[in-house]
Homo-oligomer: A and B are copies of this chain.
Amino acid sequence: MALHPFDEAIRLLARADGSFDGHTSVAYANMVGPFGGITTAQALQAVLQHPDRLGEPIALTVNFCAPVADGPFQVMAQPVRTNRSTQHWVIDLRQQGQTVMSGTAVTALRRETWGVDEEPMPVCPPPQQVAVPETQAPMEFVKRYEQRFVTGNLPLVWDGQESSSLTQLWVRDMPPRPLDFASLSAIADIFLPRVFVRRSTHVPVGTVSMTVYFHASSAQLVETGTGYLLGQAKAQAFRNGFFDQTSQLWNEAGALLVTTHQIVYFRQ
């Protein structure tokens, strides 16, 4: 059986020095270079595959330091501090010996505790009642995700009309693939640049830094399986060349799996 394109994309080969060899994925290509979410997943994968890893991912921050070129890369994840139940990682992803992504991660042994989701899942029609858009952006990675927009897709007319930057959508891997931490970290970056939604104006953009908090346990990932996730994203501020996005991902059962934030460069 052929590997799912996502599994193909995040395949890493261990090197003698503890780092891994990987390669950008044609299947997850963006306009230029790869989709940021797939590079994020590759960085996290270096933690997940590390023989010394303790527990499951809690937090991940990745910094998009420079454009990633199509081709090979090396990624090193180092546990800089290991405690009884938490472990701290520093991540460095390089091409031609130069850092193109830096990052940190926290993994932890999680124990059952009291809990509650305070941020309610927005009331949206179920995925089956939300149409897949008739047209979609031409980048290859877009075909790797089924996206059903409840609100806040790309503007139909780029007329500079200002509106809320809010997006709500159902999303899952295409073809469907059982959810895991790596795919969740990629989907955390699925949201369109808020400036497009807010301004109906196309301007150059690029994510600078993204942080992902994993609220999901392994058991919840298994329960979610190949189901849809409800994603919500909005900006809080646009100012002098940068804006933020604050986002959530729930499963169909309403469990908040991820909260995530990013800061994005824009021009004009």
Which residues of A are interface residues toward B (Cβ below 8 A)? 58-59, 61, 63, 65-66, 80-81, 83, 86, 88, 90, 92, 98-100, 102-104, 106, 108, 110-119, 162, 164-165, 198-199, 208-209, 211, 213, 215, 217, 234-242, 244, 246, 248, 256, 259, 261, 263, 265-268
Contacts and interface: CB of A to CB of B under 8 A. Distances in A.
A81 B104 contact: no
A199 B116 CA distance: 10
A263 B88 CA distance: 13
A244 B266 contact: no
Given A59-B263, A244-B215, A265-B86, A239 B102 contact: no
| Interface residue SS majority, chain A | strand
22 contacts: A61-B211, A66-B83, A80-B92, A80-B99, A88-B102, A102-B104, A104-B104, A108-B208, A111-B240, A111-B241, A113-B268, A114-B238, A116-B198, A116-B238, A117-B236, A118-B237, A119-B235, A119-B236, A209-B211, A211-B261, A217-B239, A217-B240
Given A113-B266, A213-B261, A104 B240 contact: no
Nearest to A220: B239
Contacts of A209: 58-59, 61, 104, 106, 211
Given A113-B267, A164-B118, A59 B102 contact: no
A116 B80 CA distance: 39
Tell me how many chains of this kind the complex includes.
Answer: 2
Given A236-B259, A237-B118, A211 B208 contact: no
Nearest to A115: B239
A24 to B, nearest CB: 18
A46 to B, nearest CB: 16
Contacts of A248: 236
Contact of A240 (B59, B100, B113, B198): B113
A244 B259 contact: yes
Contacts of A240: 110-113, 115, 217
Nearest to A59: B209
Contacts of A114: 199, 238, 268
Given A58-B263, A98-B81, A239-B217, A234 B111 contact: no
A88 B65 contact: yes
A117 B237 contact: yes
Nearest to A81: B65
Nearest to A260: B261
Contacts of A104: 61, 63, 102-104, 209
